[in-house]
Amino acid sequence: MPHYTPGATITQEVTATVAGQADVVVCGGGTAGCVAALAAARNGADVLLVEAGHCLGGMMTEGNAGLTKFVVHGAGPAEQAAIVRPLRDRPAEVQVVGGIPLEIVHRLLEMGAAVGTGGTAGCYVFTDSEAFKLLLYDMAVEAGVRLALHSPVCDVLAAGERLDGVVTQTKQGRRAYLGQYLVDATGDGDVAALAGVPFVLGVGPGDAVYQQGLAPLGQLQAMGAMFRIGGVDLGRYLNHLRRHPDQFVVQHFGLMSLEEVLRAHDSGEMAVFMGTTSSGRRFQVYNYPRPGIVVGCISAPGNRDGLTVEDRTASELDVLVQARDLVAQLRADLPGFEAAFVLDTPRAGVRETRHVQGEYALDVADIVASRQFPDTIGKGGHPVDISPRPREVEEAEARDGWYFDIPYRILVAAGRDNLLLAGRCTSATREAAGSLRPTAACMVMGQAAGTAAALLCGTGRAARDLDVDQLRQRLQEQGAVI
């Protein structure tokens, strides 16, 4: 038997079967990728969606993550309440996200499979994950999107500055898919990295947190999970909070007062808050569109790299233990949680890995100043969700009603003519990525990337040379907020 030294490099020659081709190949069927595929197909492209997992939606479905956020940001509970009020009858006054993301929410609400702020797409929308999986599948079928699940990308086929396609590693061996244009929506920027596109892992030298001495180079956001808890009488717990308001804590991004949380729960709307156990531990729970279920939120400790097997494994185990321990404490401590149990724990969610280099990198100044761009393809309203937080962020979030523009150039991979980016791997600094990686912004980028790819098909042009005015007009025609 040959002897292999741990850490040694082994070179093998492998073969791949060309399994299919399409105008547009979208890699990753998660938050950004499923919307990119729908957008490309609806704009006339033949689309193949390649996904490593068993379903569509990624963090939105199997990750139990809420959809956030569709409205401008309020500086405090009173300001946020003023934003929520128009949602019930004049939503366009405060919503900064439309198009396919808004259509998805409306369909989920009509199915009774979602709860939203003000009864619609506001700060948060939490969904029945199983119903959501089926909806995304139905929408893919309606649009004519072809699917290849259980197909993680492991290589690319390159010819000069263009990519001919991607290679996947499956139970059938290696399978190649060819496309005129590719969209990297893998979250970690796997296609871009395989294609040699430069990237920064975690904190880079241009990030404010590094320049202000708040974080070292390479630091990564903690991994975590949104897990479902069954057997909960949320109404009983909220009645407990009525009597013990000192145990209520305003959640930083939802910014709902106790009175608003109680009103929202009674109305069947989204209620966002934090509670406190007898030991003083703060915890987040979100209401769910099915009775007896809430969603909890936990983070794995340490500066772990979501690209390594060792760190991913450690985080998965930490998430399991933390979910068990938190629910045990809630069960022992709080009214309404006496029969609580862990319903499911998804795989640990990765907040940050590669920031892929594009034609432009969105930075914290762009976010906090609400900078306008001539190539804006959509907007976002989510605060900068990172830790530690640079001083610019603290100052900006004291302002009411702000949002930010998303330029097309951050979706265009540097040095590759036909590769577009969508989701959390897009070209941005660490701070800007803290506002771009939440679900609503990822869906906005997905719609823009998919639409751009469809418009480019048949032209042979590089993605950087797309007529952005044509893209913007098409997005507006299809309901996007530009």
Q: Does residue 208 sit within a domain?
A: no
Structural domain tally of the chain? 2
Tens-place pLDDT, residues 115-159: 999 899 999 999 999 999 999 999 999 999 999 999 999 999 998
In a domain, 373, yes or no: no
39 and 177 housed in the same domain: yes
Q: Are residues 170 and 309 in the same domain?
A: no
> Does 390 lie in the same domain as 310?
no
pLDDT of residue 307: 97
Residue 352 lies in a domain: no
CA dihedral 434→439→441→444, nearest 10 degrees, is 160
Residues 58 and 156 in one domain: yes
User: Could you tell me if residue 351 is inside a domain?
Assistant: no
Q: Across the chain, what does the average pLDDT equal? A: 94
pTM value is: 0.96
Mean pLDDT of 417-439: 96
Token representation of residue 2:
């040959």
Model confidence at 161: pLDDT above 80: yes
Q: What is the pLDDT of residue 174?
A: 98
- Same domain for 397 and 251: no
86 within 8 A of 74, measured Cβ to Cβ = no
Average pLDDT over every residue of 445-465: 98
Q: If pLDDT is split at 50, 70 and 90, which confidence band does 399 have?
A: confident
Last residue of a domain, one of 321, 344, 367: 344
Pair 189, 303 in one domain: no
Reply yes or no on whether the pLDDT at 33 is more than 70: yes
Domain-ending residue, one of 318, 344, 370: 344
Q: What is the pLDDT of residue 2?
A: 65
Q: Is the pLDDT of residue 310 over 60?
A: yes
CA separation (Å) from 1 to 4, 12, 20, 53? 9, 17, 38, 35
Is residue 257 included in any domain, yes or no? yes
Q: Which residues contact 298 (CB under 8 A, 6 or more apart)?
A: 224, 225, 227, 319, 322, 323, 326
Exposed e or buried b for every residue in 172-210, given b needs 16+ CB within 10 A? eeebbbbbbbbbbbbbbbbbbbbbebebbbbbbeebbbb
Q: Which two tokens stand for residue 394?
A: 């603290």
Cβ(481)–Cβ(95) under 8 Å?
yes
Please name the residue that has the structure tokens 């929308």.
125
Q: Within this chain, do residues 162 and 241 fall inside the same structural domain, yes or no?
A: no
Residue that is last in its domain, among 324, 344, 364: 344
Task: Report the run of H or E that residue 190 belongs to, with start and end.
Answer: helix 190-194
Average pLDDT over residues 360-370: 92
| CA 401 – CA 72 distance, rounded (Å) | 5
pLDDT score at 302: 79
Kindly state whether residue 11 falls inside one of the protein's structural domains: no
Same domain, 267 and 157: no
- Res. 368 pLDDT band, cuts 50 70 90: confident
Of 397, 404, 396, the residue nearest 367 (C-alpha): 404
Same domain, 317 and 283: yes
Name residue, tokens 């319903």.
343
Q: What is the mean pLDDT of residues 453-465?
A: 98
Two structure tokens written together for 132:
């959501």
Specify whether the CB–CB gap between 353 and 430 falls below 8 A. Answer: no
Token pair belonging to 309: 């097997």
Q: Are 105 and 128 in contact (CB under 8 A)?
A: no
Specify whether 23 is located in the same domain as 168.
yes
Range of the domain at 394: 16-199+378-477
- 314: in domain: yes
Say yes or no: 311 and 390 in one domain.
no
Q: Are residues 105 and 144 in the same domain?
A: yes
**369 belongs to a structural domain:** no
Q: In this structure, what CATH number is given to the domain that contains residue 90?
A: 3.50.50.60
pLDDT tens digit sequence for 198-252:
999 999 998 999 999 999 999 999 999 999 999 999 999 999 999 999 999 988 7
**249 exposure class (CB count in 10 Å sphere: 0-12, 13-18, 19+):** middle
Using alpha carbons, select from 414, 119, 89, 323 the residue that is nearest to residue 425.
Answer: 414
